[in-house]
Amino acid sequence: MKRRQHQHLLESLVQSTAKQQGDFTKTAELATELLCQNLAVSLVSVWTFSADQQTQTLVAQFGSMMLQDIHRPKLLQACPRYVHELKTLRHIDAGNTLTDPRLSELAECYFIPRHINSSLDIAIRINGCLEGVLCIERAQFTPHWHDSEIHLACQMADQLALTLATKHSYDKEERLSLFRCATEQSRQISMLINLHTEKVEYVNQAHSEITGMPREQIIGANIRELAFFKQHAQLAEQTLAQIFRGEIAKGEAQFSRADGSRYWLTYVLSQFITDRGNHYALVSCEENTDEHNYKSELERLAWRCGLTGLHNRTHFNRVLERTNKGLLLLVDLVGFKRFNDTYGHENGDSLLIEIARRLKHFSEINKATEIARVGSDEFAVLLTDDNAVYDLDYFSTRLYQHLAMPILIGREQVEPKPALAVVDIASVASLFAPLTCADIAVQYAKKKKGTAIQVFNSTLLSAFKEDAQIERDLHSAIRGRQFELYYQPLRDLEQNTYIGAEALIRWHHPKRGVLFPASFIDIAEQSGMINSIGSWVLEAACRQLNLWQHHNADMTMHVNVSARQFFSGNLFEQVWQLLTRYRLKPKTLILEITETELMGDIRHATLLCQELAELGVGLAIDDFGTGYSSMRYLKQFPISKLKIDRSFISDLTVSRESREIVSAIIAMASALNISLTAEGVETLEQEAFLAKSFCHQAQGYLYSPALREPEFAQFILSAKSPSVLTH
């Protein structure tokens, strides 16, 4: 190539827009095109190396072989000698790529598949550091590369290096600009201190906004002129010593502005060394005055309830720990969560405030030692007057009546439903924590009908110990498979046939024999074991239903689901897995849950019921009529069945009120197109009334108690059901 042509190529590259703008990719594309067009070569490519010299990336290529999908190895560790040669030499001029030892690592994987027989590789360096390579390749053998070709390629590589350096510079300036903008816009104080001169060399605008001191007064000032050293000299010197030792210093301090106002700062200081070896400290500060004041307010209110103004449980416990006689009264509001959900949290707060006011009034009259809100809807009163003699019945009844009086909230009159526990501290102080005894007693009080007052006594303690033993035994029962399902038949009153069963759990206790659910389900609920038991019941029932359906028995299976299990979060997934595993027919598995439990979280219950219904699962409301359902809520839920509570059936033939209630439930179910089952049917008169009133189904001792599976199968066969149930 003539020298003039050589110069023209370089000028074309140097004067290109891409080169002037520092666009490395487009400059590389132009360089490969110029070299390929003006040298008798097959392919020209430009590669860049990663900062850690581990990988290379193709930036641009041009030539007749560029469409071939074969590239040089991405990982540089695959060709260490080649990389070493590039670092050591200016270029590698190989007339024969198959025999040149410098390229032996690339022969098999690249040159031979590409049919490249000669190559010229020129290192792209910036300040002596290898940044990439310019590769010029020919299909034919080249005895030796001409000096003019090598000279041109080297100059092109130099121009690529300059462009890459320009790009790095632009990128660095852009990052620096972004960093400066971000620092200036930051609401945190950023400061740079030269540790050699101990002078502030930079501080952002946030310093002026927080401290009120112009940064012109700070930049260039000695660090001992800073407020930190003036207002916290000892702490500042300790912090500076930490920095000089290379440690990170963190802390919090309060400062005063020139106008006397005070503020808090959290700070972090760390040392770093620049590329030139200068030692600096980076100071980052954030104002946390509001957080600090809030924390102080929390500490001030640590012993009080912010809503009612009463002391809280923590404070009450501290007082109770020093008390060994007197009375402890614990008040719990029954159904408060439901009230909150129905009337809203604002009205719920109004109810709590009014209950607290009544307790204050009561406590003032009776000279209470302490009164506190010890839970969401729980209040405690401590009476330790040595001169007072308390008549427990009269005293607790008077307090209960005082709390149960109607309250006007907004335009609506509300009747609180308190549950009251009374504990004689002297009788339990050496055995149990009084508040624990009160918690136990109030749970029993909540179960009472009418006046919900419970005095903690030895009988209650025995019952508590009994429950504790049941709870321990339940753990063994779950592990030891001591449960069994019994099945109570469901009779169709119109067709006079048995169409299904309700699965009822029995516990084969090793010492107490067969236990019914009433003796352990509540304890399982309170202890959280109900989820494990409920999961077992559900699977066992589905397995049995699968066996019945396998033998062509047209049966439905009713399974009770507890509130805790219903709202556990995994009921849908469990039911879906069981339906899939046992291939149950749609609408043959019916889950029963009480209406009171459904009302616990209406939004979640509605969504879950809809999801279960979409799976083909029937949903029944158990013990209907005893809870808080309304037409509005019933319409929300995809309910397929109502089960009339046995309390209405038991006196059906002697109570006009029960007959009217049952008739109303039947009429309502008919209007909503919901199936009905009457529970606890024991007489032919009850059955006759239900059949005449068009109740669909019934279950009870009139037909059969709950039976083990073999006896249940025999019962169905002996009843000559259209279904055929065999083992």
The reply to whether 496 and 621 lie within a common domain is yes
Provide mean pLDDT across the span 180-204: 87
> Does residue 298 lie within any of the structural domains?
no
60 three-state secondary structure: strand
- Predicted local distance difference test score (pLDDT) of residue 148: 86
Mean pLDDT of 199-214: 90
Tell me which of 292, 316, 345 is where a domain ends.
292
> Does one domain contain both 160 and 201?
no
What is the per-residue pLDDT across 62-73, written as a single tens digit (0 to 9) for each? 988 876 678 889
62 occurs within a structural domain: yes
Q: Inform me whether the pLDDT recorded for 664 exceeds 80.
A: yes
Highest mean pLDDT among 62-71, 83-92, 176-185: 83-92
CA 72 to chain centre: 48
The predicted pLDDT at position 428 comes to 81
* pLDDT tens digits, 373-426: 998 899 999 988 776 666 778 878 888 999 999 998 877 888 889 999 999 888
Question: Do residues 674 and 640 lie in contact, with contact meaning Cβ atoms separated by under 8 Å?
Answer: yes
pLDDT in the model for residue 726: 41
Which of 179 and 86 is assigned the larger pLDDT?
86
> Residue 588 maps to which CATH number?
3.20.20.450
Q: Mind listing the pLDDT tens digit for each residue in 412-451?
A: 888 889 999 999 888 887 777 888 888 889 988 888 878 8
Instruction: Check whether 272 has a pLDDT greater than 80.
Output: yes
Q: Is residue 98 part of a domain?
A: yes
Percentage with pLDDT > 90 across the chain: 41
**Domain-terminating residue out of 438, 456, 474:** 456
Q: Say yes or no to pLDDT of 354 above 70.
A: yes
User: What is the pLDDT at residue 724?
Assistant: 43
Q: Tell me the per-residue pLDDT of 609-622, one tens digit each, with 9 for 90 and over.
A: 899 999 999 999 88
- In the numeric block, which tokens belong to residue 307? 């809503």
Q: CA 601 to CA 642: how far, in whole Å? A: 19
> Same domain for 287 and 335?
no
Domain with residue 330: its CATH number is 3.30.70.270
Domain hosting 387: range is 306-456
Q: How would DSSP label each residue in 517-549?
A: GGGTHHHHHHHTTHHHHHHHHHHHHHHHHHHHH
What whole-number distance in Å separates Cα of residue 570 and Cα of residue 562?
Answer: 13
Greatest pairwise CA separation for the chain in angstroms: 124
Percent of the chain at pLDDT > 70 equals 94
> Given CA atoms 630, 634, 639, 640 in this order, what sign does their dihedral have?
positive
Asked if the structure places residue 560 within a domain, the reply is: yes
Domain assignment of residue 297, yes or no: no
- Residue 123's pLDDT band (boundaries 50, 70, 90)? very high
The tens digit of pLDDT for each residue in 292-349 reads 888 777 766 678 888 888 888 888 888 888 888 888 999 999 888 878 877 788 888 9
Is residue 602 included in any domain, yes or no?
Answer: yes
Same domain, 41 and 161: yes
Same domain, 287 and 316: no
Pair (269, 357) in one structural domain: no
Per the listing, tokens 């027919």 go with: 585
Is 68 within a domain?
yes
633 pLDDT band, cuts 50/70/90, is low
Residue 130 sits in the same domain as residue 169? yes
Distance CA 661, CA 653 (A): 13
- C-alpha dist (Å) from residue 523 to 471, 502, 509, 515, 622: 6, 22, 15, 13, 20
Collapse the DSSP code of 510 into the 3-class scheme (helix H, G, I; strand E, B; otherwise coil) and give the result.
Answer: coil
Average pLDDT score over residue span 554-574: 89
Residues 305, 311: contact at Cβ < 8 Å?
yes
The answer to whether residues 643 and 649 touch, using CB atoms and an 8 Å cutoff, is: no
> At 248, which CATH number?
3.30.450.20
* Statement to judge: residues 314 and 281 lie in one domain: no
- pLDDT, tens digit (0-9, with 9 covering 90-100), for 208-260: 989 988 888 889 999 998 999 999 999 999 999 999 998 999 999 999 998 98
Report how far Cα 23 is from the mean position of its chain's Cα atoms: 47
Residue that terminates a domain, selected from 150, 173, 196:
173
In terms of domains, do 143 and 269 share one?
Answer: no
What is the mean predicted confidence (pLDDT) over 655-673? 88
- Token pair, residue 340, equals 């909150």
d(CA 82, CA 563): 72
Whether the CB-CB separation of 141 and 95 falls below 8 Å is answered with yes
Q: What are the percentages of helix, strand and coil residues in the chain, rounded to 5?
A: 50, 25, 30
Q: What does the alpha-carbon distance between residue 481 and residue 473 come to, in Å, rounded to a whole number?
A: 12
User: Strand, coil or helix: what is 459?
Assistant: helix
Is there a single domain that holds both residue 260 and residue 311?
Answer: no
Contact criterion met (CB below 8 Å) for 89 and 123: yes
- Residue 724 falls inside a structural domain: no
Number of domains, the chain: 4
Per-residue pLDDT tens over the stretch 566-607: 888 889 999 999 999 999 999 999 999 887 777 666 777 888
Instruction: Write the pLDDT tens digit of every residue in 483-505.
Output: 999 999 999 999 999 999 999 99
Please tell me which of 9-13, 222-226, 540-544, 552-556 the model is most confident about, judged by mean pLDDT: 540-544
Reading the block at residue 261, the tokens are 């106002």
- Residues with Cβ < 8 Å from 151, sequence gap 6 or more? 6
The yes-or-no verdict on residue 722 having pLDDT over 60 is no
CATH of residue 65's domain is 3.30.450.40
Confidence of residue 631 (pLDDT cuts 50, 70, 90): low
The DSSP secondary-structure symbol of 584 reads P
| Same domain? 62 vs 106 | yes
- The partner residues of 46 in beta bridges, in order of sequence, read 60, 134
What does the buried/exposed string (b/e) look like for 211-227 if buried means 16 or more CB atoms within 10 Å of the residue's CB?
beeebeebeeeebeebb
The verdict on 538 and 581 lying in the same domain is: yes
